[in-house]
Structure 1
Amino acid sequence: MADLDATADLLWRAKPVKEARPRLSADMIVGVAVSIADDEGLAALSMQRVAKELGCTSMALYRYVTGKDELVTAMADTAMGRPPAPSGDDWRAEVEGVVEAMWRMFLAHPWVARVPATGAPLGPNGLAWFEALLAPLSRTSLDRAELIPMATFVTSAVRDLARVQHDTDTAAAADYGRVLARRVTPYRFPVLMSLLGAPEESDVTPVVTVGLRRLLAGITG
């Protein structure tokens, strides 16, 4: 497991390496790694691959990054970018705006949703997204002790649904109703069967929208 202080230093770029003729930097390494993951997924990422793209040896990377796990953590924080600025709207609209932007971010960088969430956010961008949810939620009827659990729940739900979106086989989803209709009886699954007449949809976005709005409807400002 990567050292937490070392990971935080990389995320915040706190310890730049000084060289007489700098050829590399943590930003360069992380940027190239993000490009690889965006184009080919995390499975294609290795220290050797990053070094090849940068025209250096893999050992040269370790002056800036202690290992692949630390690199992936920094990549995810970088790829997340910054959340939208506060909209000035009511708290519910602000939360919905943050979640919509988070959803778009996960769709733009599918691999980010697969980076293990081993604890609370540590990097500047991850913390900024968390703060962007906490700020409007703090203006509601939620107790202070409920704010972090609620923001964590929303973030985790969006991340997991993004994984579902990426994993959904569009062709299989289109056949779902037909296949079930031939094998499942209304007697055993009456509600499900009553809904299968609706057009099948492989887009998970409505799940995020409906789920969030129903969740927020139970909170008062």
Structure 2
Amino acid sequence: MSADKSAAATFRLLWETKESARSSLSVGGIVEAAIALADAEGLGAVSMQRVAGELGYTAMALYRHVPGKDQLVALMADRAQGNPPVESGKEWRTEILNWADAAWDFYLAHPWILRVATTGAPTGPNELAWFEALLRPLAQSGLATENLVATAMFISSAVRDLARIATEIVPSGSDYGNLLAQVIRPDRFPTLASLMTSGAMEDDGDVRPALDFGLNLILDGLTTHTS
């Protein structure tokens, strides 16, 4: 199957899959089984054969509903996201922070999705709903139309990548500072040396404060930019 035909097949499946389909041998049933497998064992455990086995069918039976693993993973990623947070009616800044909180929680609940390659702009119904939920408050901020998508991409990418780091990082605590002390010299790394002296280089593995600080810094700048 060519890349164009594969993309078209994926798009069709994303928009034609019925949430009401509950039988195991349906697109909805297959996707739900694959999500459960990924939640339990990670994305690497997901294959057409393994999902078929979980459902009690052969892989060939699955191929009659989902053309291949690439389409299956795209369906999984869109379905697992669910709906974005409901608009609270509060100011645009609060809406964006609420969006980031919900996205963070989603990624940590389904860390396998952070291993799904980003191959293009969002196309699935849930992906687009999340994108709309971020673009809407950004538009209310007064940001110029031509900058909305770029800003939304920057914010969503920051949330996603820091969530990825949060699921991968192994805290090293004060050991990190002790290791650095062996090689950091003020003449070569003056800023790092100063941070070590202040204790700021200890690694507790918590990256969420970095996200909160960065988002608020961006939103402060956005307020200034649009005022």
TM-score, scaled to structure 2: 0.89
Distance 2:203 2:8 in 1: 48
Instruction: Report which stretch shifted further, 25-34 or 181-190.
Output: 181-190
Show the counterpart of 1:35.
36
Unaligned runs of 5+ in 2: none
Show the counterpart of 2:178.
178
Note the C-alpha offset of 1:99.
0.6
Show the counterpart of 1:75.
76
Amino acid paired to 2:169: T
Distance 2:74 2:17 in 1: 15
- Conserved 8 A contact 1:174-1:202: no
Note the C-alpha offset of 1:14.
4.8
Distance 1:174 1:83 in 2: 38
Distance 2:173 2:73 in 1: 32
Amino acid paired to 1:10: L
1:207 to 190, 207, 210: 210
1:32-181 alignment, distance < 5 Å: 32-170=33-171, 172-181=172-181
Note the C-alpha offset of 1:190.
2.1
Number of equivalences = 216
Distance 1:174 1:132 in 2: 40
Are residue 6 (structure 1) and residue 9 (structure 2) matched? yes
Distance 1:81 1:177 in 2: 41
Instruction: Report which stretch shifted further, 183-192 or 29-38.
Output: 183-192
SS in structure 2 of the partner of residue 12 of structure 1:
helix
Larger proportion of helix? 2
Show the counterpart of 2:189.
189
Would the alpha carbon gap of residues 67 and 47 (structure 1) be closer, same or farther in structure 2, given more than 3 Å must change? same
Note the C-alpha offset of 1:8.
1.6
Distance 2:24 2:186 in 1: 67
Would the alpha carbon gap of residues 54 and 114 (structure 1) be closer, same or farther in structure 2, given more than 3 Å must change? same
- Conserved 8 A contact 1:161-1:204: yes
SS in structure 1 of the partner of residue 16 of structure 2:
coil
Amino acid paired to 1:66: P
Show the counterpart of 2:219.
216
- Conserved 8 A contact 1:81-1:125: yes
Q: Per-residue displacement from partner, 1:175-214 (whole Å, max 9, x unpaired)?
A: 2111101221122222222223135321111111111110
- Conserved 8 A contact 1:8-1:123: yes
Note the C-alpha offset of 1:5.
2.3
TM-score, scaled to structure 1: 0.91
Note the C-alpha offset of 1:106.
0.6
Distance 1:26 1:135 in 2: 31
Identity, % of aligned positions: 51
Would the alpha carbon gap of residues 15 and 30 (structure 1) be closer, same or farther in structure 2, given more than 3 Å must change? closer
Distance 1:23 1:45 in 2: 16
Q: Per-residue displacement from partner, 1:78-102 (whole Å, max 9, x unpaired)?
A: 1111111111111111101101110
Unaligned runs of 5+ in 1: none
Note the C-alpha offset of 1:174.
4.6
Q: Per-residue displacement from partner, 1:29-63 (whole Å, max 9, x unpaired)?
A: 00010011111111111100000000001001011
